[in-house]
Amino acid sequence: MVIKSRPVPSRIVFAPPLDPGSVLLAPVVSTIIHSRTKMEQAEALSFLGSLLGKTLHITILDGRLFTGIFKCTDNESNIVLGNAFEYRMPSKSAEEKAMAEAQATGKPAKADMTSRFVGLIVVPGDQTVKIELEESRLASTATATTPAPSLTIRTKS
C-alpha cells in the first residue's frame, strides 16, 4: 500500500486572530460534560452531532496540528479523527535558512511544515489548545441562504 503525503495547507500556518465574537469548538465539547440544564446539553449534543464526518483542525500544546475527519468524542473531551495527518512547525534552522534566502534574493521564501499520515488517532482532550472546523467552498455557497447558526465558528477560507 502506498500512502501519498498531502500538500501542507498554507492557510493553517498563518491563521488570522479570532474575531471578538467567535467561539472555538473546544469549549463546546466541555459544555456537553458540564452543562447545567438538559436544554443546554441537548443543544450541545445536537451541535456536536452536526460536526460528525466533517474535517477538523486540532492544535495541541506542543504546537502540532492534526487534521482529520471527526469520528467521535468522549466525556474527557478526547477526540477521535479518521484519515488524519500530523503537521509540525518548521525547525528553527529551516526558518533561519528561509529568512536568509529571502534577505539574499529579496523575494519571499517559505519554510514548509512537515507532515505525515497518522490514520485513525485519539487526540487527548487535556492536550487540546484549539479546534477549528474546515468548511469547504461548496458547502459555504450552498448554505448561503440558510440562517446563521447561534454559535459562530472560526473557519478556514
What does pLDDT average to in each consecutive run of 10 residues of the chain (157 residues)?
41 34 47 62 86 94 94 92 94 88 87 91 94 74 47 49
Selection from 29, 75, 23, 66 nearest residue 48 by Cα:
29
Q: What is the pLDDT of residue 13?
A: 29
Q: Is 66 a member of any domain?
A: yes
Selection from 122, 132, 131 nearest residue 157 by Cα:
132
Alpha-carbon gap, residue 17 to 65, rounded angstroms: 17
Beta-bridge partners for 102: none
Q: Is 33 a member of any domain?
A: yes
Contact 69, 16 (CB under 8 A): no
For 50, the domain range is 22-135
Residue 77 per-residue DSSP state: -
Q: Is 96 a member of any domain?
A: yes
Q: What is the pLDDT of residue 111?
A: 82
Alpha-carbon gap, residue 89 to 13, rounded angstroms: 8
Q: What is the pLDDT of residue 11?
A: 32
Alpha-carbon gap, residue 101 to 112, rounded angstroms: 14
Q: What is the pLDDT of residue 39?
A: 75
Q: Is 115 a member of any domain?
A: yes
